[in-house]
């Protein structure tokens, strides 16, 4: 089965001979424009021990990708395939600091067997004149291996610092190379060899333009020329790429594994790389997000429709019998300014009635058609303060359908998956200052956030289910025994629901304000106001921080 998916996720055509799909060869070509700026960043920031190795690997990776995209290498070069690979490996830097460049750094090396597409691409007959085909296969496998090596190195570096302290160059390297590796995987999975794209596409001319494009892309052995000529070809390809991403992606049922693998690479590049942090590379950022959307839509078309759980977790309305926090119906901006000035929590009603999410999302299953195969970080363990706590990457579908004890907490889900952002609306009250962060909180009944305080104004918007909160004013901080050092100085050592008064005797004097936040309500939490949160049902909340 072959289907054509447009960027909105709807099927727009039938079999393999139908309308044009997304030409991933052109998409990969467009990404070549990233490499000069990437190298400049690495050079400017001097990557110390591994800096030169990274630069040389980027040279070699760029050359291999140019070969893949060109797809029209001269026969004379093909006759010396081994020499070309050796020349490309020379672009990898050869012997750096007396080490073996092919051995990688610190034992890091891509798995050629995993990334090699050789005989696995496409089911059609191979060209009997296969020398060029074999060279293209080899270049694709080489490019994937080199991209994987750089991704692995950057991944290792991300864990050498606290998350907020990771030098931006490692995030950039991870983002760019993950993006490129995903593109190469899609090219390998969905469309076959680069030189087999013979169908005219929107924004792409016929034979003359294809030949001109091929002539403009250097061969794999011409590394320095490739780097010098990337900008012009990259600018042209980016224009094509922009229009093509509004088109579709041709896939087959047997391509599901490759699509899923590529999509998860994109999500890791978005979450762990720099895509969510960089403002100066918006084109690359949005290209990656659009490609993830198109890939997810294509994958969803091939999968069986989602079926709701046989016994969905309860999201019934919970009444607040002992609320100690006042409720205010849709206050004006002037009235809300007075609330902020008073510095006390307030529940706002009526401010989410126009949200699409409140009308369409009644349980977490309702998010799956839009984002079910996307990768998300789930907290595993009772709370982040316990030693057994950890995070695990899984698909949103796996989390919702099977993983009953995890918590998708404080995650910029709507930045990672902009399609979901269409269902929520930033409250007008946030515009009274500078919006800092928007996070999603998804979990089953019983998930807990220990008592903690945040530095910014906070609007906690309850979309699905209900939560019980204990809130403590800032002047009660000594009674809550904050952690004195480390990463959790904004968190209390006291288990609010089962306090150990022998260890924390002063907590007995703490006076909370308790409330239940129900679906469709917003809780305003002033800066530094302590709050402990427990989900009473399956729950989805959105928090807006501003200053």
pTM above 0.75, yes or no: no
The pLDDT assigned to 277 comes to 55
Distance of alpha carbon 447 from alpha carbon 526, whole angstroms: 23
Distance of alpha carbon 236 from alpha carbon 240, whole angstroms: 7
Domains of the chain: 2-13+23-121+133-302 (no CATH), 327-546 (2.60.120.650)
The pLDDT assigned to 358 comes to 95
High-pLDDT (> 70) share of the chain, % = 57
The pLDDT mean for the chain works out to: 71
Distant-in-sequence, close-in-space partners of 386: CB < 8 Å, separation ≥ 6? none
328: pLDDT strictly greater than 90:
yes
Helix orientation angle between 168-186 and 51-70, rounded to the nearest 10 degrees: 20
High-pLDDT (> 90) share of the chain, % = 34
Partners of 261 in beta bridges: none
- pLDDT band of residue 349 (cuts 50, 70, 90) is very high
DSSP state of 247: S
Q: Is-contact 24 186, C-beta < 8 A? A: yes
301: pLDDT strictly greater than 60:
yes
Residue for token pair 């691409």: 121
The angle subtended at Cα 408 by Cα 405 and Cα 411, nearest 5°, is: 165
Q: Is-contact 337 524, C-beta < 8 A? A: no
353: pLDDT strictly greater than 90:
yes
Q: Is-contact 309 538, C-beta < 8 A? A: no
The pLDDT of 285-295, averaged and rounded, is 77
DSSP state of 488: T
SS3 at position 532: strand
Which residue did the predictor score with more confidence, 31 or 371?
Answer: 371
The pLDDT assigned to 64 comes to 75
The pLDDT of 59-68, averaged and rounded, is 74
Distance of alpha carbon 318 from alpha carbon 537, whole angstroms: 9
Distance of alpha carbon 231 from alpha carbon 426, whole angstroms: 38
The pLDDT assigned to 39 comes to 62
- pLDDT band of residue 92 (cuts 50, 70, 90) is very low
Distant-in-sequence, close-in-space partners of 531: CB < 8 Å, separation ≥ 6? 449, 451, 452, 453, 469, 470, 471, 472, 525
Is the four-CA dihedral 414, 420, 421, 423 of positive or negative sign? negative
The pLDDT assigned to 251 comes to 55
The pLDDT assigned to 439 comes to 95
Q: Using one digit for the tens of pLDDT, what is the confidence trace for 201-233?
A: 223 333 333 333 323 322 333 333 333 333 343
Query: Phi, psi at residue 361, to the nearest 5°?
Result: -105, 110
Lowest mean pLDDT among 57-71, 305-319, 335-349: 305-319
CA distances, 369 to each of 9, 264, 265, 300, 304 (Å): 10, 17, 20, 8, 11
Q: How far, in whole angstroms, is CA 313 from its chain's centroid?
A: 27
Q: Using one digit for the tens of pLDDT, what is the confidence trace for 150-178?
A: 899 888 888 888 777 888 778 878 888 88
SS3 at position 104: coil
Helix orientation angle between 24-31 and 168-186, rounded to the nearest 10 degrees: 160
Q: Is-contact 408 377, C-beta < 8 A? A: yes
The pLDDT assigned to 183 comes to 83
The pLDDT assigned to 205 comes to 38
**Regarding beta strands 327-329 and 248-252, do their DSSP bridges make them parallel or antiparallel, or are they unpaired?**
unpaired
CA distances, 454 to each of 96, 389, 451, 525, 529 (Å): 47, 21, 10, 9, 7
The pLDDT assigned to 60 comes to 76
247: pLDDT strictly greater than 50:
no
| Tokens read off for 88 | 């490309």
Q: Most distant CA pair in the chain: distance in Å? A: 85
Distance of alpha carbon 150 from alpha carbon 108, whole angstroms: 9
CA contacts within 13 A on the Cβ side of 401: 16
Distance of alpha carbon 95 from alpha carbon 89, whole angstroms: 10
Partners of 482 in beta bridges: 492
């Amino acid at each position: 089965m072959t289907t054509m998916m447009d960027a909105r996720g709807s099927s727009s055509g039938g079999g393999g001979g139908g309308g044009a799909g997304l030409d991933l060869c052109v998409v990969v070509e467009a990404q070549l424009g990233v490499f000069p700026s990437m190298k400049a960043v690495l050079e400017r920031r001097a990557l110390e021990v591994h800096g030169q190795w990274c630069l040389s690997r980027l040279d070699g990776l760029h050359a291999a990708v140019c070969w893949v995209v060109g797809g029209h290498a001269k026969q004379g070069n093909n006759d010396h395939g081994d020499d070309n690979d050796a020349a490309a490996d020379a672009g990898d830097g050869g012997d750096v600091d007396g080490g073996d460049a092919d051995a990688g750094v610190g034992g890091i090396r891509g798995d050629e067997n995993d990334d090699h597409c050789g005989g696995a691409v496409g089911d059609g007959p191979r060209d009997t004149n296969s020398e060029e085909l074999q060279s293209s296969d080899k270049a694709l496998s080489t490019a994937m291996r080199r991209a994987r090596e750089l991704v692995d190195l950057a991944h290792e570096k991300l864990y050498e610092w606290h998350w907020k302290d990771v030098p931006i160059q490692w995030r950039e390297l991870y983002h760019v190379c993950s993006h490129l590796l995903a593109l190469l995987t899609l090219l390998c999975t969905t469309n076959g060899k680069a030189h087999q794209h013979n169908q005219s596409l929107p924004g792409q001319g016929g034979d003359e333009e294809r030949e001109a494009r091929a002539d403009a892309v250097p061969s794999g052995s011409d590394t320095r020329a490739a780097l010098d000529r990337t900008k012009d070809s990259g600018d042209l390809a980016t224009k094509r790429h922009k229009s093509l991403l509004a088109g579709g992606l041709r896939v087959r049922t047997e391509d599901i594994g490759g699509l899923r693998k590529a999509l998860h690479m994109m999500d890791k590049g978005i979450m762990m790389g720099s895509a969510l942090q960089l403002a100066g590379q918006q084109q690359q950022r949005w290209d990656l997000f659009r490609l993830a959307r198109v890939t997810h839509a294509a994958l969803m078309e091939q999968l069986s429709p989602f079926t709701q759980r046989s016994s969905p977790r309860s999201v019934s309305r919970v009444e607040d019998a002992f609320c100690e926090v006042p409720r205010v119906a849709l206050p004006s901006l002037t009235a809300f300014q007075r609330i902020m000035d008073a510095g006390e929590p307030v529940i706002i009603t009526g401010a989410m009635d126009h949200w699409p999410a409140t009308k369409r999302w009644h349980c977490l299953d309702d998010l799956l058609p839009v984002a079910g195969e996307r990768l998300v970080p789930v907290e595993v363990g009772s709370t982040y303060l316990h030693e057994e706590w950890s995070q695990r990457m899984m698909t949103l579908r796996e989390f919702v359908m099977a993983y009953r004890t995890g918590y998708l907490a404080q995650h910029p889900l709507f930045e990672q998956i902009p399609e979901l952002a269409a269902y929520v609306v930033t409250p007008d009250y946030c515009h009274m200052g500078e919006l800092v962060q928007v996070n999603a909180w998804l979990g089953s009944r019983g998930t807990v956030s220990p008592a903690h305080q945040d530095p910014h104004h906070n609007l906690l918007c309850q979309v699905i289910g209900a939560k019980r909160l204990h809130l403590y004013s800032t002047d009660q901080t000594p009674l809550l025994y904050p952690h004195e050092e480390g990463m959790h100085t904004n968190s209390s050592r006291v288990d609010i629901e089962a306090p150990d008064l022998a260890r924390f005797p002063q907590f007995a004097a703490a006076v909370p304000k308790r409330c239940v936040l129900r679906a469709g309500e917003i809780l305003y939490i002033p800066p530094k106001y302590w709050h402990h949160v427990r989900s009473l049902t399956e729950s989805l909340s959105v928090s807006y921080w501003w200053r």
